Amino acid sequence: MTKTVGDFIVARLYEWGVRRMFGYPGDGINGVFGALQRASEKMQFIQTRHEEMAAFMASAYAKFSGELGVCIATSGPGATHLITGLYDARMDHQPVLAIVGQQARRALGGHYQQELDLAALFRDVASDFVQQASMAAQVRHLVDRAVRIAIARKTVTAIILPNDLQELPYEDPERKHGTVHSGPGYRPPRIVPHNDDLKDAADILNEGKKVAILVGAGALGATDEVIAVADRLQAGAAKALLGKAALPDDLPWVTGSIGLLGTEPSWNLMQDCDTLLMIGSGFPYSEFLPQEGQARGIQIDIKPDMLSLRYPMEINLTGDAAETLRALLPMLKEKREMSWRKEIQKSTEAWWKKLDDRAKVAANPVNPQLVIAELSTRIPDQAIVTSDSGSCANWYARDLKIRRGMMASLSGGLASMGAAVPYAIAAKFAHPDRPVIGLVGDGAMQMNNMAEMITVAKYRAEWSNPCFVICVFNNEDLNQVTWEQRVMEGDPKFDASQKIPDVPYHKFAEMIGLRGIYVAKPEQLGMAWDAAIHSDVPVILEVKTDPEVPPLPPHLTLEQMQHLTKALMTGDSHETSVITGTFRQLFSGLLSK
């Protein structure tokens, strides 16, 4: 059979190393799906329930595998559905290629059914490269450029394919004027700053008496190097949300997460340091970093546009985190003074103890922090953890103890709801032999994650390690925002927008052939986690959690406290229970600051 444009595209992606793509069909892209069927021994198509989920999976697949993530959808609504997941990849600097269908070339411009201006639609999210093909001889360089740009710049690219073009015979470009002759292949460069610049950075680090390190996603491949540098400088290290797995939490000088979802020792670390070394992080909230002028700053980032963005740095180094730190290490002097690190270790130890105590506070019915505390002691080696946006992201960031060898991620820059299950599915396709655990709020579960459990049921037999647990925090509330409204705006809980229906998530799991476990008593949690982690069928572990346990920043400002008091005094439906009970106990620590 003659090779079609669709066949060529699939074969060229294979040549680039692509082995699977996530998506959903439709007549705008049937020509490529025909090709996928013909190439099914080489290229796996993974069918999701919704195109947004396919794009989240492509983003997470890139995060967990380090390879290009590819998603595919039809014209019109298929293409528009992709957008949120693509922005997730873009905000978190992941290489993702979107392949989308379009109406036939002869119909374009005719207000035709499902005809949208897709190049305009993708112009922002795929601003590095978006092209609509119009000729068979053009698709070779479109694929080569879209893939090379996505992986080299760690960004999103898009190719738009009119449906009639996909079925035409493929032709290589002729050898004549006005043709493009591209080839596949890319070898990433070694990116290390100049020695003189490293030396300048080393001088500052050597002079510092209280060095604080902040790591982000860019440091995920540099664990050994960060540890070596931190030890030599007697530094403490905080972790931005996407850098959670960059350092294990059992190191006594690792202060945990930073920011609104952060910890007290991370706050103290930044407040008291005289030198800040920031590695591979775009952590957005400058108010959690040292005050301008307080600390001398050095930043390492592979993306120059991320430098000196959150704190005015004295030295801005463009480089790969591991390579740069390796080159820097021999220039650093062993610090003899231990008091700064001892201080950090003391406040970190006290903080873990405080978290332990908070998790044990009685709640109605289950304290959400206890869910994570019980997981932390049981989480299997090599596990991959994903979290949704919502209050569980606080517990994930703050309370979950990550060990060496684990991976963890979530929708960071975009902070979108509806990502934890597609992220977990992508983790399984990237590493079928590893246990995967997702943490999801009930609102996020209802949004899209629930439907994606059907995808789990469809593909679970392919995963060699059966451990796949989605833990749903059922608090019948959009809790993160309820607290934000109370604290940031001073508004009482707005039941119309915040309360959500109670749904038996565990029963849904059973209906679709998975296992459901329901916990409404704190003493059942440990056994429930054990059963879920060791189940040979994917599990929804539904826990009835208390919405009145506040997922609040480590240090409330006076203004925020005033807002909160106002909210509680002006008719919050949970006024009584909030002011008494768990709230008071959990707040006692914060209020006394």
Residue from 138, 263, 387, 479 touching Mg ion (CB under 5 A): that is 479
For every residue of 196-213, DSSP letters joined together read: HHHHHHHHHHHH-SSEEE
Residue 409: CB minimum distance to ligand TPP, A: 16
Query: Residue 306 binds which entry of Mg ion, ligand TPP, none, with Cβ cut-offs from 5 to 8 Å by kind?
Result: none
- Cα–Cα distance measured from residue 466 to residue 123, given in angstroms and rounded to the nearest whole number: 40
Taking CB under 5 A as the binding criterion, the range among 170-178, 250-258, 294-302, 440-448 that sits at the site for Mg ion is 440-448
Residue 87: CB minimum distance to ligand TPP, A: 11
Partners of 301 in the β-ladder: 318
- Give me the 400-439 binding string for Mg ion, x by CB under 5 A, dash otherwise: ----------------------------------------
Reading the block at residue 338, the tokens are 């231990």
DSSP tag of 554:
S
Q: Which of residues 475-494 bind ligand TPP (CB under 6 A)?
A: 475, 477-481
- Give me the 245-284 binding string for Mg ion, x by CB under 5 A, dash otherwise: ----------------------------------------
C-beta closer to ligand TPP: residue 85 or 435? 85
How does strand 539-544 pair with strand 468-474? parallel
C-beta closer to Mg ion: residue 283 or 395? 395
- Cα–Cα distance measured from residue 78 to residue 87, given in angstroms and rounded to the nearest whole number: 15
Residue from 144, 264, 442, 546 touching Mg ion (CB under 5 A): that is 442
Partners of 542 in the β-ladder: 472, 518
Range 348-352 contact pairs with CB under 8 angstroms and sequence separation of 24 or more: 348/236, 348/252, 348/253, 348/254, 348/255, 348/256, 348/265, 349/252, 350/265, 351/255, 351/256, 351/263, 351/264, 351/265
- Cα–Cα distance measured from residue 448 to residue 221, given in angstroms and rounded to the nearest whole number: 31
Number of residues near ligand TPP (by CB under 6 A)? 20
Q: Looking at this protein, which amino acid is placed at residue 368?
A: P
DSSP tag of 492:
P
Q: Which of residues 426-445 bind ligand TPP (CB under 6 A)?
A: 441-444
Q: Which of residues 375-394 bind ligand TPP (CB under 6 A)?
A: 388-392
Number of residues near Mg ion (by CB under 5 A)? 6
- Cα–Cα distance measured from residue 327 to residue 198, given in angstroms and rounded to the nearest whole number: 8
Give the CA distances from residue 349 to residues 264, 271, 346, in Å, rounded to whole numbers and listed in that order: 11, 18, 5
Tell me the H-state helices in 50-172.
Answer: 51-65, 77-91, 118-122, 139-153, 163-166
Residue 423: CB minimum distance to Mg ion, A: 18
Does the protein bind ligand TPP through residue 313 (CB under 6 A)?
no
Gyration radius from the chain CA atoms: 25
- Cα–Cα distance measured from residue 513 to residue 500, given in angstroms and rounded to the nearest whole number: 26
Residue from 416, 455, 485, 582 touching ligand TPP (CB under 6 A): that is 416
C-beta closer to Mg ion: residue 203 or 476? 476
Residue 424: CB minimum distance to ligand TPP, A: 15
Residue 393: CB minimum distance to ligand TPP, A: 8
Q: Are 501 and 476 in contact (CB under 8 A)?
A: yes
- Cα–Cα distance measured from residue 464 to residue 495, given in angstroms and rounded to the nearest whole number: 44
Residue 419: CB minimum distance to ligand TPP, A: 9
C-beta closer to ligand TPP: residue 225 or 388? 388
C-beta closer to ligand TPP: residue 473 or 505? 473
Residue 449: CB minimum distance to Mg ion, A: 12
Q: Evaluate the omega torsion of the peptide bond into residue 365 and state whether it is cis, within 30 degrees of 0.
A: yes
C-beta closer to ligand TPP: residue 51 or 323? 51
C-beta closer to ligand TPP: residue 142 or 444? 444
Query: Residue 225 binds which entry of ligand TPP, Mg ion, none, with Cβ cut-offs from 5 to 8 Å by kind?
Result: none
- Cα–Cα distance measured from residue 497 to residue 500, given in angstroms and rounded to the nearest whole number: 8
- Cα–Cα distance measured from residue 34 to residue 42, given in angstroms and rounded to the nearest whole number: 14
Residue from 415, 457, 512, 531 touching ligand TPP (CB under 6 A): that is 415
For every residue of 410-460, DSSP letters joined together read: E--SS--SS-HHHHHHHHHHH-TTS-EEEEEEHHHIIIIIHHHHHHHHHHG
Taking CB under 6 A as the binding criterion, the range among 324-332, 351-359, 472-480, 504-512 that sits at the site for ligand TPP is 472-480
C-beta closer to Mg ion: residue 294 or 577? 577
Q: Which residue is nearest to Mg ion (CB)?
A: 441
Query: Residue 417 binds which entry of ligand TPP, Mg ion, none, with Cβ cut-offs from 5 to 8 Å by kind?
Result: ligand TPP
Query: Residue 329 binds which entry of ligand TPP, Mg ion, none, with Cβ cut-offs from 5 to 8 Å by kind?
Result: none
Using CB under 6 A as the criterion, which residues of the chain lie in contact with ligand TPP when the complex forms? 388-392, 415-418, 441-444, 473, 475, 477-481
Using CB under 5 A as the criterion, which residues of the chain lie in contact with Mg ion when the complex forms? 441-443, 475, 477, 479
